[in-house]
Amino acid sequence: MSEVRPIILKLGGSAITDKTQELVAKTEVINRLADEIKRADLDNLIIVHGGGSFGHPTAQRYGIKEGYKEPTQKLGFAETHHVMTMLNGLVMDSLILHEVPALSIAPSCCVVTDNGKIKIFEENLIKRILKMGFTPVLYGDVVFDEKLGFTVLSGDQLVTYLAIKLKAEKIVIGVDTDGLFDEDPKANPNAKPYRHLTLEELKKIQNKLGKSSGTDVTGGMAGKIAELIPAVEHGIHVTITGATKPLSINRALIGKDVLGTEIEKA
C-alpha cells in the first residue's frame, strides 16, 4: 500500500476565535467549517488550528516563547497548554458532531524543539492514523525545547514540517480575510489583494504583510509566511483563503476556484 499524500488544512486562530477578547471562540464559524470538512469527504486530511485568543495571550503573559527563565513560568506553560486543549475541544466537538473521524494529537506530548525549531516528531504515528482513514487534528502548543527549556510551537511551523515530511499534496490556509493583501483589508478597504504569487514574489513581499490585530506571539502574518516558505520551496502548492466566508474552505479542499491567494514555487 502506497503512502498517503495528505492535504493539510490550517484553521487560523483569527478565523476561529475573536482575537479582541480573551478565550472567545467563534463557535458558529467552527461548526460551519466542520460541516464543510465533512462535505469535502477526504480520507487524506490533516487539520492544524491556531491559538487565537486562547493560547497567545497566556503565552505572552508568561513569556513562554522566549523560554524558561524562572519558576512561575511553569504555571504559565501548563495554563497555555490547558487553554489550547479547551479550544481544541471545541473544534473536536464540532468535527465529531459532523461525523468526521477526527483524532486530537497534542504537540506538547510528541514534539521536541531545538531553539524553537522542530527536532523530534514521530511522524510515523500520523502516517498510520491517515492510512486507517482517521483525520489527525493538531494545534499550536507549548513544547519542550532542548536549548530554551520550553517554547511556543506555532501551528504554521507544524503545517510546513508535516507537509515536507509527508510530501503533502497541498496546503490550505484558512484566515479571516480573502487571502493576502498589501495592507490590512480590515483597516483599509482599498488594500490590494494578491491573487497569485510565485516563491520569488512571496519572498519580496513577506516583510510588507501586516501585523496581527490582537495578541500573536508567533509573528502575525509575516511570521506565518516565513514558516510557509520552506513548503513552497519543496514545490507544495498553498492556497490562502477566508475561513470566515461560507464554502471557501470546502472549495479549496476539493480543488475548486476560491477567492484568495494561490502560491506556488514558479
| 8 A C-beta contact, residue 141 and residue 77 | no
pLDDT class of 1 with cuts at 50, 70, 90: very low
Residue 207: exposure state from Cβ atoms within 10 A (0-12, 13-18, ≥19): exposed
pLDDT, tens digit (0-9, with 9 covering 90-100), for 242-259: 999 999 999 999 999 999
Handedness of CA 234, 185, 251, 25 (dihedral sign): positive
The amino acid occupying position 128 is R
pLDDT class of 182 with cuts at 50, 70, 90: confident
The confidence score (pLDDT) of residue 187 equals: 86
Question: What number is the average pLDDT over the span 228-238?
Answer: 96
Task: Kindly report the average pLDDT of the chain as a whole number.
Answer: 93
pLDDT class of 166 with cuts at 50, 70, 90: very high
pLDDT class of 149 with cuts at 50, 70, 90: very high
pLDDT class of 184 with cuts at 50, 70, 90: confident
Q: Determine the CATH number of domain 7-264.
A: 3.40.1160.10
pLDDT, tens digit (0-9, with 9 covering 90-100), for 196-231: 999 999 998 887 775 555 555 555 677 788 899 999
Distance CA(38)–CA(166), nearest Å, equals: 22
- Long-range contacts of range 221-228, CB-CB < 8 Å, 24 or more positions apart? 221/175, 221/180, 223/154, 223/156, 224/12, 224/154, 224/156, 224/173, 225/180, 227/154, 227/156, 227/157, 227/159, 227/160, 228/156, 228/159, 228/160, 228/171, 228/173, 228/263
- Count Cβ neighbours within 10 Å for each residue of 250-261 and write b for 16 or more, e otherwise: bbbbeeeebebb
The confidence score (pLDDT) of residue 224 equals: 83
The confidence score (pLDDT) of residue 206 equals: 80
Strand partners, 143: 151
Distance CA(263)–CA(229), nearest Å, equals: 10
Identify the H or E element spanning 176: none
Alpha helices in the chain (DSSP H): 13-16, 27-40, 52-62, 73-97, 107-110, 123-131, 155-165, 199-205, 220-233, 248-253
The confidence score (pLDDT) of residue 217 equals: 58
With cell 478597504, the residue in question is 189
Nearest to 14 by CA among 52, 69, 67, 59: 52
CB atoms inside a 10 Å sphere around CB 109: 10
The confidence score (pLDDT) of residue 214 equals: 55
Distance CA(181)–CA(195), nearest Å, equals: 9
pLDDT, tens digit (0-9, with 9 covering 90-100), for 39-94: 999 999 999 999 999 999 999 999 999 999 999 999 999 999 999 999 999 999 99
The confidence score (pLDDT) of residue 216 equals: 56
Strand partners, 171: 8, 238
Domain boundaries, the chain: 7-264
Question: What number is the average pLDDT over the span 136-146?
Answer: 98
Tell me the pTM: 0.94
| Cell digits of residue 31 | 461548526
Q: pLDDT over 90 for what percent of the chain? A: 84
The confidence score (pLDDT) of residue 220 equals: 67
